[in-house]
Amino acid sequence: MENIKDIPQEKFTFVGDKNLSHDVKLETKPRSYLRDAFGRFCKNKGSVVAACIIIILVLFAIITPWCTQYKVSDEDVNFGFTKPKLHLFENTNFWDGCTEKTESYQNYVYYYAIGNELIGTASESSAHFVIKNQEYTITENNLYKYRLDSYHTTGTIYKQIDSKTYQLLQQYQNETNRQVLYPTLRLKDRPTTIQDSNNANYYYQTKMVSGKTVPVLDENGNVIPAYWTVVDGEQPDNYNSIRIEGENGFQQDGNTYFYVYGRPVSGGDYEVRINYYEYYIFYHSYVLKDGITEPYFPFGATDSGKDILTCLASGARFSFIFAISIALVNMFIGAIWGAVAGYYGGAIDLTMERITDILSAIPMMIVITLLKYHMKESSQTLIMFLAFIATGWIGMASTVRMQFYRFKNQEYVLASRTLGAKDFRVMFKHIFPNSLGTLVTSCALVIPSMIFSETSLSYLGIINLESGNITSVGTLIAAGQPFLTTYPHIVAFPSVFLALLMLSFNLFGNGLRDAFNPTLRGAEG
Amino acid sequence: MYMFKYVLKRLCLMLICFAVIMVMCFVLIKMLPIVVEGGASVDKNKFYFELEARRYIQNLQYDGSGNVIAFDNVPVLEQLGLYLKRIFMDGDFGIGMKISEYRNKPVWDAFVSRLPPTVLINVYSSVIGVPIGLGLGILAALKKNTWIDHVISTGVIVLISVPSIVYALLILYVLCFKWQLFPLRMDAGTDYLSWSMFKSMMPATLSLCLGSIAGYARFTRAELTEVLTSEFMLLARTKGLTRGQATVRHALRNSMVPIFPSILSEFVAVLSGSLIIEQMFSIPGVGRLYLDSINYMDYDFFMLLSGFYCLVGLAAGIIVDISYGFIDPRIRMGAR
């Protein structure tokens, strides 16, 4: 303290050199609102998983319709109720398109005989056995246990084709060495009952036992074929293609005999016995050339033989597009309505509120029914679109209105008005962006409820969306419910899809709501 | 007194709202063309005469063999006046036109005869659902963040999110078909209180109450956890109450304040039921009747049932609002 008077000059330095400025640049990165929200969202593990599932489901809906060989309108009754089958599990007893059956010998031999006819033919190589691999086990009480392949239960059918198709079929057989045509039977050799006389799977001798058609068995328990045989030179069928094993003009009593493959009917047409599975491949790849190579239904087929995978994906895609477009339109209407009501307040607000009160009290069912009655000629999609818009915007409007009440008297808004901004500018440039966060969240929450309402309405049959290449998840569930006990796979896949979708959308929506709520910042510790 | 005025005001507003909706509905319905369908066995003239007697149509014109071929519509407002007059003077809501079961019969009688199954199923569902839901919610709140809570909360989220269509199908397949605990369809007949009828109603009841169990469990858990962490609970404990006493006397009662109104409204909503469940389990209830009236375009049925559903919805909403005022002393409705 004593030598304060004579401090050496060199001890003095300029303040400016020491960099005493207090405006230190922040070291940390600024956190924007969105980034903050995203961080909070990621902390919620359930929501992240849900978001991933939603992305997968959306991708499924977008991509699958292009990948499958079928379209929604493709149907084939002969493949109705086909069980789900994946090539991946073909050699296991799971997801292989088969049903486990335990039945008496009489029922077993019907299916066994269908497969037995193929043994030794060109089709055997691709394993067209109705009973998987022709394998069975006999249970204690003398029942036969086997796996029934739903792709081949149709077996063979009688079909009338014109002579041109007949030749084309033979040409196809010669080219690909796949047998489609099988020896046919005389009319008198077919089963006598009405329901069985057209069943081409009875290619063997049958008899009637208490009103049912049962096969005549030889001493080994095998069926005895009853094909139409003619002496060489008397063939009526003009057939010149591959024949079944052991029948290449066989000798008997000094004559050469042939099986007949096509029964001529009036008009130069032929009635032939075809293996339907092979015919399907022929018809789609050789005649229609529509990209369908072989019957393959990963999720099974409906009662009318539509591919469930294709229908489900197309239905889901439709539902997504539909829900999102409705949410956007509702957001647009709700934003304008809520903005006007919230900004002007007073009598205008009161009037508009009463109108929304009444509108929101109208049950959805009444709206959609009245629209349906009055717009009979319009498409069902349009009706549903209008019905969802008619009352759907009210929630959005009240969200926006609330935000407008909060922000319309803030200083920056007053400043903007003082500077002469028009109402419109104040409303949509200054106040509206504040309500965007909550609006987007409620939009995300509205999408699953939209999908749910759409599903229930089509389930109840009030709206029938199925037309052309459009279907919906609800339509699928409704169509499959009558067969719930016998063919549960028809409803199972759409139901699982719907359940997964709703569950993940709910979790995702909850996460999003928490993420956009800044008051929760740091709350989770 | 302000309370009474408030209730009165709300009731009046509700009635106005209801009236506006119904008038809109009536006018829109009456603008539709009248189509009398039916095969050769149906005497169409009978319907036209019936319609004329109710002044839905007038100036009938006949062809040579006495069949009605043309008619004029009565002005809609006149029809509305007559419709209201018939309802209030005679309790006559119109006649069935299209649903073969109720053709040419009063719709009100049909409606009343369809009420018991719907009400019974909903009552069973509430009786089962409310206590289980509350119980699970209380359990989850008391054992917060233990495995019990996690299990209950996960189940609740699943049940709330998964639509009732899916778990109704599951119940139908597993309980009714695979395990054969219940019949696949509801028993026929009107002996609604018998044991076999009760059993056959169970699948639908279960499907209905799963959703409400989940709803109540979630609501109760949220409310109770909030109350349990409040300061008066700490005070109660410091006064010397055991944890059980404090929970039952202070926490539970307070948490019931927001829950009770929704239970009350559930008992109003008992009347309406669920269209999906009734359709799926083929219950001959009001919902099925409503669906039939929509599909067959039976206007008088549609008017009556729309009014009914609309009224039930509005009443449930109002009961929730008003009962808050009665139950929660902190809320003074309508006070300035």
Residue B305 sits at the chain A interface (C-beta within 8 Å): no
- Beta-bridge partners for A301: A307
SS3 of residue A247 by DSSP: coil
What 8-state DSSP symbol labels residue B40? Answer: T
Question: For A274, phi and psi rounded to 5 degrees?
Answer: -120, 145
SS3 of A156, please?
Answer: strand
Residue to mutate among A351, A353, A362, A490, with most B CBs inside 10 A, is A362
Q: B49 φ, ψ to 5°?
A: -65, -40
Nearest by CB to A369, from B18, B173, B294: name it: B294
Which residues does chain A have within 8 Å of residue B163's beta carbon, measured at their own beta carbons? 452, 455-456, 498-499, 502
B20 CB near a chain A CB, below 8 Å? Answer: yes
* Chain A touched by B275 (CB under 8 Å): yes
A481 touches chain B (CB under 8 A): yes
The structure tokens listed for A507 are 């979790």
Q: Is A503 on the interface with B (CB under 8 A)?
A: yes
Q: What is the dihedral of CA B110, B111, B112, B118, to 10 degrees?
A: 120
Q: Which of A363, A370, A491 is nearest residue B313 as measured by Cβ atoms?
A: A363
More confident residue, B65 or A356: A356
Closest chain A residue to the Cα of B31, Cα to Cα: A374
User: Which residues in B lie closer than 8 A to residue A358 (C-beta atoms)?
Assistant: 17, 20-21
The first and second tokens of residue A236, run together, are 């009526």
Please tell me if residue A358 touches chain B, with a CB cutoff of 8 Å: yes
Most confident of A166-170, A244-248, A492-496, A515-519: A492-496
What is the predicted pLDDT for the residue at A525?
A: 37
Cβ A77 vs Cβ A296: under 8 Å:
no
Q: Does A362 touch chain B (CB under 8 A)?
A: yes
The DSSP string of B170-227 is HHIIIIIIIS--S-SSPPPSS-TTSHHHHHHHHHHHHHHHHHHHHHHHHHHHHHHHHH
Q: Across all residues in chain A, what is the average pLDDT?
A: 84
Asked if pLDDT for residue A299 goes beyond 80, the answer is: yes
Identify the CA nearest to B26 among candidates B317, B292, B312, B310: B310
Chain B hits for A455, Cβ within 8 Å? 163, 165
- Decide: A263 and A237 in contact? Cβ < 8 Å: yes
Chain B residues within an 8 Å CB radius of A496: 166
Determine the straight-line distance between the first and last CA of chain A, rounded to whole angstroms.
52
Flag if B163 and A366 touch (Cβ within 8 Å). Answer: no
Interface contact flag, A366 B306, Cβ < 8 Å: yes
B226, β-bridge pairs: none
Calculate how close chain B gets to A296, using CA atoms only, in Å. 26
* Backbone φ, ψ for residue A151 (5° rounding): -75, -20
Is any Cβ of chain B less than 8 angstroms from the Cβ of A485?
A: yes
Instruction: Compute the distance between CA of residue A34 and CA of residue B282 in angstroms, rounded to an integer.
Output: 50
Locus of tokens 């077996």: A155
Q: Which residues neighbour B177 within 8 Å (Cβ) at sequence distance 6 or greater?
A: A484, A485, B184
pLDDT band of residue B317 (cuts 50, 70, 90) is: confident
**Position B239 pLDDT exceeds 70:** yes
> In Å, how far is A251's CA from the nearest CA of chain B?
56
The predicted structure's pLDDT at residue B49: 80
Q: Nearest by CB to B169, which of A372, A462, A491?
A: A491
Q: Which residue of A has its CA nearest to B15?
A: A358
For A478, the closest chain B residue by CA position comes to B280
Place of tokens 């099988």: A182
Which residues from A are below 8 Å from B160, CB to CB? 506
Strands (E), chain B: 57-62, 68-73
Nearby residues of A412 by Cβ (< 8 Å), 6 or more positions away:
A430
- Distance, in Å, from the CA atom of A101 to the CA atom of A108, rounded to the nearest integer, reads 9
Q: Which residues contact B179 (CB under 8 A, 6 or more apart)?
A: none
**pLDDT tier for residue A524 given thresholds of 50, 70 and 90:** very low
Quick check: B161 and A508 in contact, CB under 8 A?
Answer: no
Q: Within an 8 Å CB–CB cutoff, is residue A53 touching chain B?
A: no
Least confident of A50-54, A353-357, A438-442, B120-124: A438-442
Q: Residue A166 and residue A269: Cα distance in Å, rounded?
A: 8
Domains and CATH numbers, chain A: 50-62+306-520 (1.10.3720.10), 88-149 (no CATH), 156-288 (no CATH)
Three-class DSSP category at B73:
strand
From B100, B96, B94, select the one nearest B38 (Cα to Cα).
Answer: B100
Query: Rounded to an integer, what distance in angstroms lies between the CA atom of residue A483 and that of residue A81?
Result: 9
Residues 6+ apart with CB under 8 A from A402: A338, A342, A435
CA–CA dist B276, B332 (Å, integer): 39
Contact A358 B17 (CB under 8 A): yes
Which chain B residues touch A362 with a CB distance below 8 Å? 21, 310
pLDDT tens, A382-405?
999 999 999 889 989 998 999 899
Q: For residue A361, is pLDDT > 60?
A: yes
Is A520 a residue whose pLDDT tops 70?
no
| Structural domains present in chain B | 112-327 (1.10.3720.10)
Per residue in B101-152, pLDDT (tens digit) is 887 788 899 999 988 888 889 999 999 999 999 999 999 999 988 999 999 9
Spell out the residues 6+ positions from residue A456 whose beta carbon is closer than 8 angstroms to its own: A474, B163, B165, B275, B276
Q: Tell me the two tokens of residue A175.
A: 């080219």
The answer on pLDDT for A234 being more than 80 is no
Cα B228 off chain centre by: 34
| Residue B100 contacts residue B177 (beta carbons within 8 Å) | no
Calculate the CA dihedral of residues B316, B321, B326, B332 and round it to 10 degrees. Answer: -170
Cβ atoms of B314 and B117 within 8 Å: the answer is no
Chain B residue with CA closest to A373: the answer is B32
Query: How, if at all, do strands A255-259 and A131-138 pair?
Result: unpaired
pLDDT of residue B197: 87
What average pLDDT does the segment A171-198 reach?
83
CB A462 within 8 A of CB B287: no
* B270 vs B236: CA distance, rounded Å: 38
Q: Which residue, among A193, A115, A65, A80, has the nearest Cα to A483 in the 3D structure?
A: A80
Smallest Cβ distance to B309: which of A363, A460, A507? A363
pLDDT over 80 at A83, yes or no: yes
- Whether B21 has its CB under 8 Å from any CB of chain A: the answer is yes
Question: Helix and strand tally (H, E) in chain B?
Answer: 13, 2
Query: Is there a contact between B44 and B36 (Cβ–Cβ < 8 Å)?
Result: yes
**Residue A220, φ and ψ in degrees, nearest 5:** -90, 5
**Rounded to whole angstroms, how far apart are CA atoms B4 and A507?**
42
Residues of B within 8 A of A474 (CB-CB) are: 165
Chain-chain contact of A365 with B309 (C-beta, under 8 angstroms): yes
Give DSSP secondary structure letters for A305-351.
--BHHHHHHHHHHHHHHHHHHHHHHHHHHHHHHHHHHHHH-HHHHHH
Mean pLDDT of A416-426: 90
- Name the closest residue on chain A to residue B293, using Cα atoms: A369
Q: How far apart are the CA of B126 and the nearest CA of chain A, in angstroms?
A: 22
Residue A367 has a CB neighbour count (10 Å cut-off) of 19
Tens-digit pLDDT profile for residues B197-206: 888 889 999 9
What are the helix and strand counts (H, E) for chain A? 15, 12
Rounded CA-CA distance A495/B208 in Å is 17
The beta strand positions in A204-286, using DSSP E, are 206-209, 212-215, 229-231, 250-252, 255-259, 262-264, 270-275
Predicted structure pTM score:
0.85
pLDDT band at A350 (very low <50, low <70, confident <90, very high): very high
Supply the pLDDT for residue A247. 60
**β-pairing, B68-73 with B57-62?**
antiparallel
